[in-house]
Structure 1
Amino acid sequence: MKQNVESWEMDHYRVYLLGHLRDHHFPQYTNPKFVDERVEAAYDTFSTLRREGRSVQVAHELAMRTLLEGLYVSRYDILYDIVEDKLWQKFPPEYWPDFAVHLLTKKSLHDILDRYEVNGDFLVRETHQPMLDELLGEITEILNGYGL
């Protein structure tokens, strides 16, 4: 029975992580070693906390934090938010996800994101607004190049 519970928990963490990586376009989605390590770390966190007497809910919440550490905001999320917040009049909402994915292919945008050291932990920094302004300017240039 214990092995079934362990297998179920690890499968749950794996499915959740893969869905999160896929939906937010994190490059780790195609890295099985990364996924395996994260799933094992999350399960270890859950198991350790349960052995220490923590409730299932608390152990699960902390395991999820382990699972998603450093994977809170993707570059896709940032670009999608700009499209949604600033360019919503240029495209119907059903085009926003595909356009954000298209923007991920643009080196000039990655150069800006690299300069601001955007990674999965990028949530709130004093450089957030200047970065958004610079990205919006570059996206506007890209759109102008397309004649939009």
Structure 2
Amino acid sequence: MNKNEKKQKELSYYHLYLQKHLQENRFEQADDTAFIETRAELAASAYEQARRGGYPIEGAQELVMQTLLKGLHHSRYAILREVIANEFAYEIPKAQQEAFTRKLLPLVDNVFSIYDLSDDLFAQSLDYDLLYSELTGAVVLYLAEYGV
């Protein structure tokens, strides 16, 4: 077993879960090993403290997920991907949506700049609806000018 394989085996569930979440949703922290390790350690500590405090396993796990994903529920990439999948399924074939999302993301970066995506309740806010509408409009404009 080489060093990388051994390191992978030593990684905690929380570390792997967070790393996968960050990568799949293309968060900036996806390659920040120190950030991931720190968050995973905080999550493990939260679990231990909750269990010692009498929480049932499910309750402790819920606290862990709150700790692990604090401020990481809404990525620019995931929101744009959702808009494209929901609003443009007929215009952009499913097989092309991933590539289209990656291509369009840097072009709509300024749209995201006025919203606080780190708010864990952002998806339930009026700002989310406004952002969703703005992104929908941006995709319409892009398709009108460039097509798929």
Instruction: Please tell me the TM-score bracket, short chain as reference.
Output: 0.7 to 0.9
CA-to-aligned-CA distance 1:104-141 (integer Å, 9 cap, x gap): 222xx111111233336321222333322222222222
CA distance in 2, matches of 1:18, 1:120: 20
Take 2:110 and 2:96, find their aligned partners in 1: how far apart are those partners? 24
Q: Please name the residue that 1:3 is paired with.
A: none
1:76-87 equivalence runs, <5 A: 76-87=77-88
Deviation at 1:33, TM superposition (A): 1.5
CA contact (8 A) 2:111 2:134 kept: yes
Equivalent pairs: percent with the same residue? 30
1:101–1:147 Cα change, 3 Å: closer
TM-score when normalising by structure 1: 0.83
When the two structures are aligned, how many residues end up with a matched partner? 139
Where structure 1 has 5 or more consecutive residues not aligned to the other structure, the ranges are 1-7
Pairing 1:131–2:138 present: no
Name the SS for the 2:12 alignment partner: helix
Q: Which residue of 2 aligns with 1:4?
A: none
Question: 2:19 maps to what in 1?
Answer: 18
The secondary structure found in structure 1 opposite 2:90 is coil
1:74: how far off? 1.2
Q: 1:95–1:17: structure 2 CA closer, same or farther, 3 Å change rule?
A: same
TM-score (norm. length: structure 2): 0.83
**Residues 41-50 or 93-102, more deviating:** 93-102
CA contact (8 A) 1:9 1:43 kept: no
Given residue 140 of structure 1, which amino acid in structure 2 is its aligned partner? Answer: V
Please state whether the residue corresponding to 1:117 is helix, strand or coil.
coil
Q: 1:49-87, CA deviations, whole angstroms, 9 ceiling, x for partnerless residues?
A: 122222222212211211011111211121011111111
Counterparts in 2 of 1:134 and 1:9: CA distance versus 1, 3 Å: same
Deviations along 1:1-26, one digit per CA (max 9) or x if unpaired, are xxxxxxx8961001100111111111
Q: For structure 2, which runs of at least 5 residues remain unmatched after alignment?
A: 1-8
Distance 2:118 2:55 in 1: 31
Provide the rounded CA distance (Å) in 1 between the counterparts of 2:37 and 2:130: 36
Deviates more, 1:112-121 or 1:26-35: 112-121
